[in-house]
Each structure stands twice: as structure tokens, then as C-alpha cells.
Amino acid sequence: MSQFKNIFAYSYFVIAALSIFLNTPAIAGELALVQETVLPPLPVAVSNNAVTAVITSQGSFIVSFAGLGSGKSHDDTYASTFVFDAGRQAWKESAPVPGGDGRLASVAVAVDGLAYVFGGYAVASDGSEVSLPHAHSFDPQRETYSELTPMPVPVDDAVAVTFEDRYIYLISGWHDFGNVNLVQRYDTVSDSWIQATPIPGPAVFGHAGGIVDNRIVYCDGVAVKANVDRRRDFVATSRCYVGLINEENGRRIDWRSIPPHPGEPRYRMAAAGVGIGVLFIGGSANPYNFNGIGYNGEPSQPAPGALLYVPLSDSWHELPIDGDATMDHRGLVKLDEQWLTLGGMLGNQQVTDRVNSYR
């Protein structure tokens, strides 16, 4: 009996701690998220945009890079940069992302008062896609870009996490004609790249993840399946992994498999480390091309609710959300005590300008 009491007490502790970290209500021992629209919408409806929040001595900023417009064709890819000044509570369009092309599936993170944006892909009129090697930092106060050393292997639809407010890890992703299993680490101080321990599972794109202390967590995405008598297929994978960064040698990552989350695998969720866990919001159970139409030819719809993985207890928690489901995200952003999705797609592949807040 004492064993069961201990398990119950530990579960109660985890729920209570997560409720504090997420600033969410705990109802009948379960977590729940409330969706609100308390911030002004983006200047345009945009999806598949790279997003991050930058905290500086002069204030806080949210930055949205590039993405897809509501027309959802190759002519509707943006190179736009939109900056939200939390002090002024207003959006402003800044200088476009350098490189000359609209792009999709970039990733963005913040380190030491600057935003960093990497990769993505450009779409040609014939529908072909080219992964971009570009790497830039962006100063939201001066609204200026600085060109950085390009990625050794250009990727799009990757996961990006930061470590020690210096290093940026790009995990797997798509490169021109196929997925790569690489983990590419960028050093913001020396402007240099190095390869870290590759991921152990199948190479994927459209996966999602975050970092808690030195633990990288990522899940799902799309793998390539080879066939005997026809072209390859893109298939959703439900595999999840945690990688422990060696604090003495950051190139070394001890990757381990963890249980998959409840329900079907999801594509292009919004995710981030949130205190003692990694929070995943939205996404779609049907992987799709950039226009929201599945690789199987079926229109994709967003999956409801959120998922939370807690490394300390190796446990998953399903979080209902009172609000509209969304998909086609490139990140989850924290501003003050709010977790935010910026843009994305609503039901029926509708590109939105909404900034949704989750508490």
C-alpha cells in the first residue's frame, strides 16, 4: 500500500509542479490549457514561419521570419520579417530575410539578445524545392541582419534548440532530396559549425522538440519509406528520443529512446522546453505538402490538444485545449508567462494571422 501512496504522491507533485511552470489550471489532477488571443494579430496571415522571442535590456521582442501566405502556392512564400515590440504592443515589418527568396520551414532561436534564423527551402514554379544554406543573426532593436557562416549541410524542417546561451543544435531535417540524421552545432561566439552525435533513429523532417537543462527531446516527423515497385513514400513516425548533452564535450550526445506520446504521431507541432518538461501543441496526424494537402492526397486537419513530456518521470501528459486546433508551426514562443503560437493553419488549411496564447 505504501508503494501506491508514494506513486500517487509523486504524480501529484509532478502535476502541481507542471501547473506552476506552465501557469495552467490543474483540474481533478489533470492539466489543461486555455487558449486566448490577447496579443495583436500578425500583420499578415502566415504559416510555416520561423519564430522566436528575444529578451534584451531594452525590452522583449517576438520575431517572425518568412513563411507561407494565404494563397498557399509557390508565389505566396514570404521573405518578410515581422517584429513585435512587447513594450509598444505593436507589430512592425522590418528588413526582409536576406537571400532574395521567400522561404518555408526555416528555424529560429534566440541567444544573448539576438535572434538566429537558419535554412528553410525555396519553392520553384514547377514545385521543386531547394534547401537553403543561409544562416543569419537579427538584432530586433537595430532591425539589422548579420550574415553568418552557412550551414555545412543545408537543412529545412529541422528542430533547433539552444544550450548554455551560446550553442545552437540543428537536429535532423530535409536536405534537397532526402532526410539527414545529422546534428549540426553552431557556436554563436566563434561563428563556427561542428558535427555532434547523429540521431539514433530514422532521419526525419517536420518533427518537433525542445530542451530541458541538457536534455534534448524530439518526437515524430516524417521518414522516407522505400518501396520495391513504386516511388518512395513519406510516412509519419511515432518515435521519440531524449539526448543528454555531455557538459564537458558538447559534441557528444547520449541519445536514448523514450515511449511515444499518446495518440497518433503528429507533423509540424509547435514545441519548446517549459521548465521541467517539453510542451508540444497542435500539429497534424496527416503529413502534408506545404499547401496543407497530405502526401496521401487527403486534406490535412490540425490535431486538437497538447502533449507534455516530463524527463524527470519519463511520463507523458495529455493536455486538452479550450480553443481552435492549429498546425504548420515552426516553434513555440514564450513571452512573459504566456506560451504563443504565431500564425499557422486552422481547420481546412486556413492560413491565419492569429497569435494564440496558452496558459
Whether residue 167 contacts residue 178, with contact meaning beta carbons closer than 8 Å, is answered with no
pLDDT surpasses 60 at 248 = yes
Q: Residue 64 — left, alpha, or beta (φ > 0 → left; ψ -120 to 50 → alpha)?
A: beta
Q: What is d(CA 319, CA 269) in angstroms, rounded to the nearest whole number? A: 14
Q: What is d(CA 39, CA 24) in angstroms, rounded to the nearest whole number? A: 18
For the domain that residue 289 is a member of, what is the CATH number? Answer: 2.120.10.80
| Interval 181-225: pLDDT, tens | 999 999 999 999 999 999 999 999 999 999 999 999 999 999 998
Half-sphere exposure for 196 (CA within 13 Å, toward CB): 28
How many structural domains compose the chain?
Answer: 1
Give the DSSP letter of residue 349: G
Q: How much is the pTM?
A: 0.92
| Interval 285-314: pLDDT, tens | 999 999 999 999 999 999 999 999 999 999
Half-sphere exposure for 289 (CA within 13 Å, toward CB): 15
DSSP annotation string for 18-53:
HHHHHT--EETTEE-EEEE--SPPPSS--BS-EEEE
Return the closest-CA partner of residue 216 out of 183, 184, 235, 241.
241
Average pLDDT, the chain: 92
pLDDT surpasses 60 at 1 = no
Domain that holds residue 352: 2-358
All residues at 6 or more sequence positions from 290 whose CB lies less than 8 Å from its CB, including other chains: 48, 68, 72, 104, 105, 123
| Chain centroid offset of residue 7 CA | 32
Residue 15 pLDDT level (bands cut at 50, 70, 90): low
